[in-house]
Structure 1
Amino acid sequence: MKLISFFRVGSALGLALVSVMTHAAPLTLTHQDTHVTINPSDLSMRWGNLPINDANLKVGQQPQQVVDVRHPAPNQFNWRWEPANIEVSATLDDALTLSMSLDDNAQVARQHPVTLHWFDLPDQDTQTLLLPFSEGMRVPTDHSQWIDYLQASRDGSNTTQDLKMPFWTAQIGSQYVSYHLVTATNNRLGFGRANKKLDMGAAHTFTPLNRHDPFVVRVKPGQHPLDGAKWYRQWREDKHQAVSLAEKVQQNPETAKLIGATHVYLFGQGPLARDDVKDWWGLKHWALNTSSLPLDDETQAALEELSGKQSWFSQYHKNTLVNGINRALAETFPVTAPTEKDNTIKQQYQTAQQRKKWLAARAGQYLKPAEQWGQGLSTEMIDSLQKAGIRQLWLGLDNWMPAFYQPHVVEKAKQAGYLIGPYDSYNTAIPRGVNDSWLTAQLPDAMRDSCAIEQRNGNLKKGFRGNGFYLNPACDADYVAQRVADIIKYGQFNSLFIDVDATAMAREDYRRDTREVDMLAAFNQRMKSIVNRQAVVLGSEDGNSLTTQGIAFAHGLETIGFGWRDEDMKSNRSSPYYLGPWFPDNKPAFFFQSAKVKPLYQALLFDPQYRIPLYQAVFHDEVINSHHWHSDSLKFTNVRAERDLIAMLYNVPAMVHLSRDEATSPSQPRIRAIKHYQQGFMPIHQALWDKALVDFRWLDERGRVQQTQFSDGSTLTANFTDQPVGMSDITVPAKGLVAQLSDGTQVVWSVSE
């Protein structure tokens, strides 16, 4: 029999073919009319006649001997593997539960953990693999491109951050077999090719920190592709881990403002925008000759090119002047570095007001009134949104400084009925001078040093993009709580987006003997604490199932991250796939510039036949999810219809980025796009926000017409084709959706306006 195991290649996990001898007779567990057969020597398993695991048992690179087999009940067997000294229990009731634990004689060292290779997908019997990478991937196991993609991009994935929920489902014959990792931490998945089929393996690692924690997995067949998700949803409810949106609305009525809301990020951090200038020549003369502002050399050189009104004051020169003034104001009125006793948030607010007052007093004659200033966050922005008739919005800022310059605009947004909050983060801390515009990472030196995560090899874990260090979320919780409180107080926010905390980015920290499960608990505790203390509507990145406590919304799962190392996407400016640079600050091209998706990603990640609503089947009525902010709804031109229809079919909100120049009137394209999304999404979400997604079907052979059903009987039917599709009671427009709600209401929406 073939056996799949992991081996190290650098930091990734690969796949290899090996074989072992069978040393013990198969064991048969019985429960009512169900029989499961397990070979304890290699862990090959069958549920009746259905193969559910191929032979793959190894600990490290060693096969194991089976000793001390016990049979305390018809539905249970116990035994031990040697030389690894692992105790095993297999129990059958409505599911098969395997529990594996190191006994006291097992040897585990910091540099030599014990890795248990336990799972090998029955690849020759499996037709389809359902994986909760992002919302949900449906992978045909004989699809060569999918095999190559998973090998290249997903081999070595962990089951906390990478796998968004700790289960997967395999279609084996007519059954859908689901594997739920009750112990979701310290696991890795491997993907490879075996006889032209996709193969998958899984391994669990025992370390000095988690050696006393059993590894537990449950296995159960079902009849429907969503059965694994529903099974996991029920388990979360049984363990009291689920908190419904209805409960969150009851706890904080402001949460109801998320119902039907489109999610919008407003860009720009400085006090002054290009649209705030009345007299460009007067402002230029003042800035260069009378202001005493320390303009940088690049700004001075660009502006000195303009000799007088005979020269054209171009958009480039306008941007250069405004950005130069904003930078010079920050240098003229700096903020001191934060310390553990002073997070400087109050000082940042006071300094923002000082910069604004100073500029208005000295250059006001060249500018509009100061209360109208602002980049993304401005009175003009809120006016345009209201004039367009857009009622339900979550507005996000890339940090809190825009609100500190214009607190009255935050109040105006709240009076309009919107939620508004800044991006915040406590996961990376960087030294002063590395990137001072990265405001969230400006944490005290003592906190950066004392809270940095120590890895197994003794090194401190480098922070985001190699800057500073990643921090243990359990460390210095009082500082975090006070900074959050001050940001909300001075920004007057009713919402907050805390980055990373809900990604389930679990790591071991040997400085504090923190297990991965402890780190997950610390992230959850931090989010719950924010909600309990501040009464804001909280969101975070991804919303992975292990870290959802406290959050009402999340950004990330509806568009999976892809192509991180693709040079055409990252740096080839002549490529149609280039995502764009991260500047200018008030409108970064990375977020606003349209791009195409490469054919490989288009074929695999955005084709609706390879998508399945696993996450929504678990979380639709608990956490509202949307796209990652790197990829708003308008970013990719050649998959926009598919993304929009999938979002509507799953009943999740659109995300649109706005800068001030994109919102000077209700007729501008991005404002019109928000209005169009809301015309379809709002009435449907208002009916279904507290309902579970209970069914998903293809209504044709290729998955070009799909339907979701919710717990009240409402159905959403999406047509991904270019022609209308007639059904018994409805006609679904081309590239469109029909919602048949339980109260008899029908909503028809199509991608094109």
Structure 2
Amino acid sequence: MKKKFFITLLTTLTLSLAACQTPGIMQKQVQEKSSVNQELNKNKSYAKTDFSFDVDPETFAITITENNQKETVAQPQTTKRVTNLKKTTNEISWTYPDEHLQIAVKKEDEHLAISLTSLTDEDLTFNWPKIDAKNYTLPIAEGKMIPNDQKDWLAYFQQNNELAMSEAFSMSFFTANYEQFAASFVTDETFNSDLLAETSNHLAFEASHHFIGFDKNKTLNYRLYITENDPVAIAKTYQMDRIKTNNFKTLDDKEKENPEIKKMRGAIQIYYWNSRILTEEDINWSKLPEQVDEPIFQWIAELLSQYGEDGSAEYENALAAFKNNEGYQYEKNTLLNSLNYVLLYPQFFNKSIFKQPDETASKLIEKGIDTLSEQDRYTLNKHLLAGALQDLTPPLEQWGKETSVDVFKEMKNAGIENAWIGLPNWANGLMNPAMVKTAADQGYLIGPYDSYQSIQENASIDWNTASFPNEKLYEQATVTKKNGEKVAGFLGKGRKLNPTQIFPDVEERFIGIMQNKIPFNSWFLDTDAAGEIYNDYSPDHQTTQSEDVAGRLKRMDYFNKNGLVVGSEGGNDFASKEMVFSHGIETPVIMWSDPDMRENKESEYYVGSYAALDGGIPTKYKKTVPIKDEYKAIYTDPAYSLPLYKLVYNRSVITSHQWEWDSYKIKGQVAERRMKEYLYNTPPMFHLDKAAWDEHKQDISENAKIWAPFQKAALAHEMTDFTVLTQDRLVQKTQFGDDLVVIANFSDRNYDTDDVKVPDQTALIINHRQQTIIQVKE
């Protein structure tokens, strides 16, 4: 039985951001800019300046005293031999000769500057600092508050006792929370650094840094900030650090370079699945049995047998069934998948099969099959197939219209003004350019998923993102470990690419895709902001993690400069200046390593597979599943969640869920996640095809009408506050500027005060005293 989701609106006055006359808009923009400046000025006051410090060089223990309260913020290590000790009132430096390290500690106005410099050209690992506190504030995804004795977090860190910070942390800091203050260790970046967990008695951490011998940068810098024990103070202090180090860029500034970014404000996030240009509605099934012996169907069998990954047996069985008038839904899907699949083949044209091509096909053939762009090749193949199928299908321009073009028009008519639409592959757009044009004409952003993470040894249409015309890349542009082995690609297939070696190939792919001016206006780059980065020990192109990231940012910038709205998986803030949106900050991938979720298909927790027999949404993205109770604290429980990323980057990066975990994915948590989306200014994300749209369009469209004006208002300001309103941490408040407030009541009881009343399982938006209630019934 299908569940429907309804959003209840109890509105004293509608949340409205309707356009007014131009002078009014200009005045509003001036007021907002002035307000933001005031918000930023307030952020400058969070870092404490009146603390003192003490360092023991032999153990590298650091003690901070603030307001007569003393804490050891870096626990003592094993005693080491010290030379070259120099000390003044505000500065101390020394050398660890046995460890080949030079250390310097200096009190600056707002922080303690700590540098560790390798004195060797060999690889070197050094662990520091060790932190041991009652609670920790860590930028895991959006942000987490982690008690040192919570059982689920202890279990998590027992299993994940060594986290690569560049991948696990969305920002470059970690914080220990003490009774009277918080101590935040901020680094320039987290490359080559791990966080090691100790869980024997309670949770403690130690940072480990790997100095790479061939890296010219031999110094690791920490800035130790002391703030109030408050996530707002911690996050805003980090934000000021990023601004001072020129690592911060607002959406306003990005929009000046690319006005298309404005379409992202207020947009819901949609992954649209439509792998068929020829759909079930496009086939006259009653006429099929008498035509299955036609040459075109036999030719398709030959193509599948010769080039198809799974061969032609299943397709031929389906033909036999149709011939006997026994073709049912499975056989229909098999036939449709085969027909659509062979349209991708460069080998599709065969003079003996397609003897009378139409005018469009003839002109393309005259150009030369081998000279055609990818889009022209698909156009040729569609026209050839349409001519061969004749009255089995409607005119070619009608193919796939009902499941693509018509859906986007219906979305606009339903009141969805702003949307980002992601296609699972650029081929989906090139095969159906009318779909892309329709989305762009509605004012939506639409773009393909693209990836430069892996490469296969042999090019394949089944994995075109991992295939490149340049045959030398597999041997000459892939990542080598220190031991000489190549790093395996995604799912252990192929190899990982070095981003510094393939920029010309990025350009070649992009130019090829856009050759016929398909109106893509966005681009999604897999893993570029996810922190899965490498030191490449290949003798002919040694590359540090810093250089690896620079290569990724260069290609992100390339798409930016081509007028595309760029997003990436993860959203780690080393890419915050280059990307506009990210998928994975709010809900990251949940437990890759759990076999019940990834392998055991009989488990209720199994997330699904990449296959979609009906050409629509794969079960991995469509199937709703619960998550195990022990994972809730780690991934979804609001009691342990903090909007750290939003407190820093609300005006800079639009963040949402990792695509495997869209807004409907987690069974029993749709309402909770909807509330949190408003609390954190997180765009809702949906996987849609026509069937899913028909099922959910009432909920999606009604929510979008609230979401668009809400987010446009929220993005105009800093997230200025986050407050926990109840002892169980289940009622929380965020604030954007002075006049936009969201209160989310995740508990099962009403929250009533003299000023506000919020029912259980409800979010309340207050904008200039106008109230809107968000309530989802599952």
- In structure 1, what is the equivalent of residue 360 of structure 2? none
2:144 matches 1:137 = yes
2:564 matches 1:558 = no
Aligned-pair distance for 1:393?
0.6
Q: Report the TM-score when normalising by structure 2.
A: 0.85
Please show how residues 174-323 of structure 1 align to structure 2 within 5 Å.
174-194=180-200, 196-210=201-215, 212-223=217-228, 224-277=230-283, 279-291=284-296, 292-295=298-301, 296-306=312-322, 308-309=324-325, 311=326, 313-323=327-337
Is the Cα contact below 8 Å between 1:379 and 1:409 reproduced in 2?
yes
SS in 2 for 1:454: coil
Q: Which of 515, 540, 556 does residue 527 from structure 1 map onto?
A: 556
Counterpart AA for 1:78: S
- In structure 1, what is the equivalent of residue 170 of structure 2? 164
Q: Report the TM-score when normalising by structure 1.
A: 0.87
Q: Which of 718, 739, 745 does residue 770 from structure 2 map onto?
A: 745
2:510 matches 1:480 = no
Aligned-pair distance for 1:744?
3.8
Is the Cα contact below 8 Å between 1:734 and 1:750 reproduced in 2?
no
CA, structure 1 residues 330+184, in 2 after alignment: closer, same or farther (shift >3 Å)? closer
Counterpart AA for 1:394: W
2:744 matches 1:718 = yes
Measured in 1, the distance between the counterparts of 2:577 and 2:500 equals 15
Q: Which of 599, 605, 614 does residue 635 from structure 2 map onto?
A: 605
* Partner deviation per Cα, 1:675-703 (whole Å, 9 max, x = no partner): 13313322210111131112111111111
Counterpart AA for 1:556: G
Aligned-pair distance for 1:748?
2.1
Is the Cα contact below 8 Å between 1:555 and 1:627 reproduced in 2?
yes
Over the matched positions of the two proteins, sequence identity in percent amounts to 27
2:158 matches 1:151 = yes
Aligned-pair distance for 1:637?
1.0
SS in 1 for 2:678: helix
Is the Cα contact below 8 Å between 1:617 and 1:693 reproduced in 2?
yes
CA, structure 1 residues 731+497, in 2 after alignment: closer, same or farther (shift >3 Å)? same
Measured in 1, the distance between the counterparts of 2:380 and 2:76 equals 67
Paired residues, number: 690
CA, structure 1 residues 639+346, in 2 after alignment: closer, same or farther (shift >3 Å)? farther
Is the Cα contact below 8 Å between 1:377 and 1:402 reproduced in 2?
no
* Partner deviation per Cα, 1:511-543 (whole Å, 9 max, x = no partner): 2221111112221122112211x1111111111
Measured in 2, the distance between the counterparts of 1:227 and 1:514 equals 37
Please show how residues 623-662 of structure 1 align to structure 2 within 5 Å.
623-662=653-692
- In structure 2, what is the equivalent of residue 19 of structure 1? none
Q: Which deviates more, 511-520 or 481-490?
A: 481-490
Measured in 1, the distance between the counterparts of 2:375 and 2:134 equals 58
Measured in 2, the distance between the counterparts of 1:706 and 1:345 equals 60
* Partner deviation per Cα, 1:543-575 (whole Å, 9 max, x = no partner): 111122321111111112222121211122222
RMSD between superposed Cα atoms in Å: 2.3
Measured in 2, the distance between the counterparts of 1:711 and 1:132 equals 23
Aligned-pair distance for 1:661?
2.9
2:97 matches 1:82 = yes
Counterpart AA for 1:691: H
Measured in 1, the distance between the counterparts of 2:262 and 2:439 equals 16
- In structure 1, what is the equivalent of residue 64 of structure 2? 47
Aligned-pair distance for 1:626?
0.5
SS in 2 for 1:160: helix
CA, structure 1 residues 484+461, in 2 after alignment: closer, same or farther (shift >3 Å)? same
Measured in 1, the distance between the counterparts of 2:157 and 2:290 equals 58
SS in 2 for 1:737: strand
Measured in 2, the distance between the counterparts of 1:364 and 1:690 equals 55
Please show how residues 541-690 of structure 1 align to structure 2 within 5 Å.
541-584=569-612, 585-663=615-693, 668-690=694-716
Aligned-pair distance for 1:286?
2.9
* Partner deviation per Cα, 1:368-412 (whole Å, 9 max, x = no partner): 332232389722221331232211110110111122122122111
Instruction: Give ranges in structure 1 of 5+ residues lacking alignment.
Output: 1-30, 336-343
* Partner deviation per Cα, 1:49-76 (whole Å, 9 max, x = no partner): 4324343546xxxx521122112x4111
Measured in 2, the distance between the counterparts of 1:474 and 1:171 equals 39
Is the Cα contact below 8 Å between 1:101 and 1:214 reproduced in 2?
yes
Please show how residues 400-549 of structure 1 align to structure 2 within 5 Å.
400-432=426-458, 436-443=461-468, 444-490=470-516, 491-511=518-538, 512-532=541-561, 534-549=562-577
* Partner deviation per Cα, 1:275-301 (whole Å, 9 max, x = no partner): 322x11323543444423323111221
Q: Give the number of the structure with larger relative contact order, counting CA–CA contacts within 8 Å between residues 6 or more apart.
A: 2
Is the Cα contact below 8 Å between 2:261 and 2:580 reproduced in 1?
yes
Is the Cα contact below 8 Å between 1:170 and 1:178 reproduced in 2?
yes
* Partner deviation per Cα, 1:240-261 (whole Å, 9 max, x = no partner): 2211011122222211111111
Aligned-pair distance for 1:350?
1.4
Is the Cα contact below 8 Å between 2:292 and 2:319 reproduced in 1?
no
Is the Cα contact below 8 Å between 1:453 and 1:470 reproduced in 2?
yes
CA, structure 1 residues 723+489, in 2 after alignment: closer, same or farther (shift >3 Å)? farther
Q: Which deviates more, 586-595 or 606-615?
A: 586-595
CA, structure 1 residues 77+466, in 2 after alignment: closer, same or farther (shift >3 Å)? same
Is the Cα contact below 8 Å between 1:500 and 1:540 reproduced in 2?
yes
Instruction: Give ranges in structure 2 of 5+ residues lacking alignment.
Output: 1-47, 302-311, 350-369
SS in 1 for 2:215: coil
Is the Cα contact below 8 Å between 1:528 and 1:549 reproduced in 2?
no
Measured in 1, the distance between the counterparts of 2:50 and 2:436 equals 63
- In structure 2, what is the equivalent of residue 114 of structure 1? 124
- Please identify which structure carries the higher helix content: 2
After TM superposition, which residue ranges in structure 1, 4 or more long, deviate above 6 angstroms?
Answer: none
